[in-house]
Amino acid sequence: MKIMELNATDLKKFFSGGCAFLCDNKEQVNALNVFPVPDGDTGTNMSLTMTTAIKDFNGQVTAAEVLNRVSNGALMGARGNSGVILSQIFRGFAQGVGDKGSLDPKGFAVAMQRGVDLAYRAVMRPVEGTMLTVSKEMAKAALASADAGDDMIKLLEKVIDQGKKALANTPNQLPVLKQAGVVDAGGQGLILIYQGGLKALLSEEMGLADEYEKMAGVEGVEGETQIGQNIEFGYCTEVMVHGKNIDVEPVRETLTTLGDSLVVVGTESLVKVHVHTNDPGAVFSYLVKYGSLHDIKVDNMRDQHREILDISESVETKTKEPAELAECGVVVVVSGDGLTHFFTELGAGYIINGGQSMNPSAEDLLRAFSKVPAKEIIILPNNSNIILTAQQAKELAERPVHIVPTKYITQGISAMVAFNSAQTAAANVEGMLENIKQIKSGEVTYAVRNSTYDGLEITENDILGLEEGKLLSVGEDLLYVVLKLVDHMLDGNEDQLLTLFYGADLKEEEAQKVADAIMAAHPQIDLEMQSGGQPLYYFLISVE
């Protein structure tokens, strides 16, 4: 089979098939997490970004229109560092397409290279051995194939083959990958997109690709559907479920009977659901059995009266008189009832429910900015994997946005202590950054797989103690791991304040036993214990 040119319908099929194959294999990508903690979410972030990228494939009749739709969708739906980089690849790809009606091999290859160039520029300090490297090598293969006179199928085959070689070499370029025994997760996700796209063009495994084409509104034959027509399930429904001992698989199985375009991700205590359905009430009635429902959102997909960049509710702050606006407001990304309450008490203007394994999209951040009645906005990402998304949202925001690059929730709390809504954003940022310098941040979680890291042997379900990303203690006993971590964080200085936030998987009496043991070992310190309610992490610790 030879294809010398991709038209709009072909490109819709390509991107829909790529989305389908990535979504079907996202757990494979998640498992490539460098560190064996339960926050491997690259596959989830990339698949959610792709799902948004191909949403609303209606009315596009040229290659340029399809790529602009993919670019805009990915830009708004980007989640995590991998999702932001993917969105920049698509943004550059669209720029490379220009106003073309269709793409021949040379046009496709040139667009790929434009995507690589833009993605490299979007990252402040590009690192080789990552998704960027894989994309660069794939683009080189595309250009060489086009110059050799290959058709599109042959070109894509060579692109995928070169991508696999580049991926296999990533551990040699990035020592942390070799140490963990994995290849780059983002690079793997990118290859899956191209593999799925090729399969769709070749009509392989089309049952899966068709499912995602239906989700995106792609017509299966030549010709375009009208907006709002042929949508089987009319309501895009999203909700966060807070509970205990939630088994994600039964939830996923049941919800497949209520609609399509299903995404169910999360942990035993926090689950995010996205589904297209005709009965949102039935979805909520089922999910409420597992816990309390938060961040409920229902959109009528047949109501297509706004463009993708028209963020709903963004006009709320525009209607306020300047005198009603505070000088500065804060948006915080955090998960856990206790932590949410803590940030609210400290003056946060809006809380986005998310964090580890639940990275918000750029559009989520933009909505949050629009909710805060202030002249300028500060965002506390509280997670290194959200900082790039925050940067992308900042560039799209209508008001000035300032990013305080908090990587840990405890840094975010310390930053909020310095916040004063009557001061300018610049003054607040200065105080927040100074406060962050004064604390050390620790985390206690568990291992999701066997691994060796920094010379430490790790067995699945071992308890792990980390100080600002560095593994310091490993063991089967929670108390042992916490005490060893605290010893290191205090570093012989007993005249300090230690704050302990215990997570959703611990009872108060269990946490109190740990607090008592810390005080017995370090009687000179001041210790405060709070219920954080955070998922995945038994304790978050700050020392100042």
Could you say which residues of the chain have pLDDT below 70? 35-36, 38-40, 204-231, 261, 263, 265-270, 301-323
Cα 40 to Cα 43: distance, rounded to the nearest angstrom: 8
Assign residue 230 a region (left: φ > 0; alpha: ψ between -120 and 50; beta: otherwise): left
pLDDT of residue 370: 92
pLDDT of residue 260: 73
pLDDT of residue 221: 28
Query: Cβ distance 244 to 269 under 8 Å?
Result: yes
Cα 459 to Cα 490: distance, rounded to the nearest angstrom: 27
CA distances from 357 to 129, 229, 238, 266, 385 (A): 23, 35, 16, 7, 10
Question: DSSP assignment, residue 87?
Answer: H
Cα 189 to Cα 163: distance, rounded to the nearest angstrom: 11
pLDDT tens-digit series, residues 215-251: 444 333 232 323 334 457 778 788 878 777 888 778 8
pLDDT of residue 272: 73
Cα 371 to Cα 189: distance, rounded to the nearest angstrom: 34
Assign residue 451 a region (left: φ > 0; alpha: ψ between -120 and 50; beta: otherwise): beta
- What is the DSSP code string of 223-256? S-PPTTTT-SS-EEEEEEEEESS--HHHHHHHHT
Cα 159 to Cα 143: distance, rounded to the nearest angstrom: 9
pLDDT of residue 297: 76
Three-state secondary structure of 22-45? HHHCHHHHHCCCCCCCCCCCHHHH
pLDDT of residue 529: 95
Helix (H, G, I), strand (E, B) or coil at 380: strand
Question: DSSP assignment, residue 285?
Answer: H
pTM listed for this prediction: 0.75
Sorted by where each starts, the structural domains of the chain and their CATH numbers stand as 8-216 (1.25.40.340), 235-300 (3.30.70), 317-437 (3.40.50.510), 440-543 (3.30.1180.10)
pLDDT tens-digit series, residues 270-307: 677 878 888 888 888 899 888 888 777 787 765 533 33
pLDDT of residue 303: 57
Query: Cβ distance 282 to 259 under 8 Å?
Result: no
pLDDT of residue 246: 83
Three-state secondary structure of 151-193? CHHHHHHHHHHHHHHHHHHHHHHCHHHHHHCCCCHHHHHHHHH
Half-sphere exposure of 537 (CA within 13 A, CB side): 28
pLDDT of residue 349: 94
> CB under 8 Å to 212, separation ≥6 — which residues?
16, 17, 19, 20, 23, 54
